[in-house]
Amino acid sequence: MASTGSARTGRQKAAVLMTSLPTEISSRVLRELSDEEVELLTLAIAELQFVSKEEAEQVAAEFTRLAQARGFVATGGISSARRLLAEAFGEEEAASVLNRLTASLQARPFDALRRSATEQVFSYLQEERPQVIALVLSYLEPDQAAQLLSRFPEEQRVDIVRRMAKMEAVSPDVVQQVEQMLERRMTAFTSSYAEPGGIPAVVQLLNNSETAIENDILDHLSETDPQLAEDIRKQLFVFEDIAHLSDRDVQRLLREVDHQDLVLALKGASEITRAKIFANMSQRAVEVTQEDLRYLGPTLLRDVQAAQGRIASLARMLHAQGEITIGGGGSNEILV
């Protein structure tokens, strides 16, 4: 496979390129960047160490090929872009770069917000109506949306999640009006109706939230809208759901779990969940874990919840990879 000849990150390569350009050109480039991008790039330039002439030339050549490939992709010349990239980087790397290029050219609603710092986005949204906040969070990446959700007051969080879960198709015109109201530039949006919200969006949001926030929202929903809470819980895997996995899947999960996380998680686990986990461990492993639990002593609830959250996230990841089955029953055969 062909190589770029540099192990630097994309940001470091950008710093190398900027230091190689004439000052007047690099200044013009900086003027086209956002304040955050300028800050990050300046920091990368400041952290640069020795850059050889050969590496600078390789980075410049890579940038030229990527710029050419982007031009081909933008004008529909995917095959030309693929040939150019394959010649420069090899087939496998070319496919990866091409995927990133095509994804970057597909503008999405609220893309400017998606690239902004969480605190900055929160400042735009904190005074908005819950339905507006729910719409925006539905379009953002789940981890960013979860961070934003945690910054709102408790009652407002519950209202936002309820509106997300019950959100129906939203006209692109409405999306555009919200973007304009937030004074953010929209690059493009679909002409058909979109369905950004719904229970799947809430599940992604809660999966990326802190366990305490997740539990708090579901508890409130159970009181005000039991059916909605139940519908969400059916799709939301939490630590205690390990008790409902097949023995095969519990064993597969335990192979990936950090021992210290397991001990912390078991500290706050129900007897049913403990029994399920211990039943799928060797006798020696059970004895070691139980001994660690005895010597653990008083533990902060947030540490226990964090460990349980990490294990639940790991289970969701294995489910996404097809390694285990969540919510689908399965065989209780024990692997040896």
Domains for the chain: give ranges and CATH numbers: 10-104 (1.10.220), 111-235 (1.10.220.30), 239-320 (1.10.220.30)
Rounded distance between C-alpha atoms, residue 331 and residue 245, angstroms: 9
CB-based contact 266:289 (threshold 8 Å): yes
In sequence order, which residues have a C-beta less than 8 Å from that of residue 121 and are 6 or more positions away?
Answer: 113, 140, 144, 148
Question: Is pLDDT at 175 greater than 70 in this prediction?
Answer: yes
**Phi, psi dihedral angles at 329 (to 5 degrees):** 75, -135
The pLDDT of 278-303, averaged and rounded, is 88
pLDDT, tens digit, 9 for 90 and up, residues 246-279: 999 999 999 999 998 999 999 888 899 999 999 9
Rounded distance between C-alpha atoms, residue 321 and residue 192, angstroms: 31
pLDDT, tens digit, 9 for 90 and up, residues 74-117: 444 555 556 666 666 667 766 666 565 555 544 567 776 776 77
CB-based contact 16:51 (threshold 8 Å): yes
Q: Look at residues 123, 118, 115, 105 and name the one whose alpha carbon lies nearest to residue 187.
A: 105
The predicted pLDDT at position 250 comes to 94
pLDDT class of 2 with cuts at 50, 70, 90: very low
